[in-house]
A and B are shown apart, each in its own frame.
Chain A
Amino acid sequence: QKEVEQDPGPLSVPEGAIVSLNCTYSNSAFQYFMWYRQYSRKGPELLMYTYSSGNKEDGRFTAQVDKSSKYISLFIRDSQPSDSATYLCAIETGANNLFFGTGTRLTVIP
């Protein structure tokens, strides 16, 4: 079983839609939860970071963590064509062990 599972998509939505991206993980020792956005042929950039259960909001983005279910989500409201990218979840134990999901490719259609 992989440490982190992520639906690879691809996911296509119309502009303005709400997007939900999800990951599940297996190790309850994971403490830190991140979402990265990666545009084509670029390095991943950190989008959201949280370490507790619940929601964290930043503009149109909301990161949600449910430690009891070992489930994390990223919601994008009012999606824009510029949001088209691959989104990677990443989870860390706090001991320099960072595990990435395989990424979900998102396309927002104008």
Chain B
Amino acid sequence: SQTIHQWPATLVQPVGSPLSLECTVEGTSNPNLYWYRQAAGRGLQLLFYSIGIDQISSEVPQNLSASRPQDRQFILSSKKLLLSDSGFYLCAWSVTTDTQYFGPGTRLTVL
């Protein structure tokens, strides 16, 4: 069966510090991978999605970036965090274009 992992689970970072969140998927090959941010009362905001290694689309312009160095690994990064980057970050995967399955999430607080 497929499993998706995210780490860390929680993170507290100062403004201006770098960020690296990691997501890995087990039990499937060539998945579509997604990064979302969830803010209270605002639902899920798609940040990036990837249909293959080094094939990444950005949905929202911001100071975040994503990379996919391996088929089942997706990384979300920032060189300098802003206060507005605080939120709950979710990684998801899919094989078809419809149903997505989510990881446990990373709660990021920028102080």
Contact = CB atoms under 8 A, between A and B. Distances in A.
Interface of A: 6, 8, 31-32, 34, 36, 41-46, 49, 51, 88, 90, 92, 94-96, 98, 100-103
Given A42-B104, A88-B43, 5 more contacts: A31-B98, A41-B88, A43-B105, A94-B97, A100-B44
Contacts of A102: 41-43
The dominant DSSP class at the B interface is: strand
A70 B103 CA distance: 29
B99 A42 contact: no
A26 to B, nearest CB: 15
Nearest to A101: B43
Interface residues of B, number: 22
A32 B42 contact: no
A108 B90 CA distance: 26
Interface string B54-98: 000000000000000000000000000000000010101000011
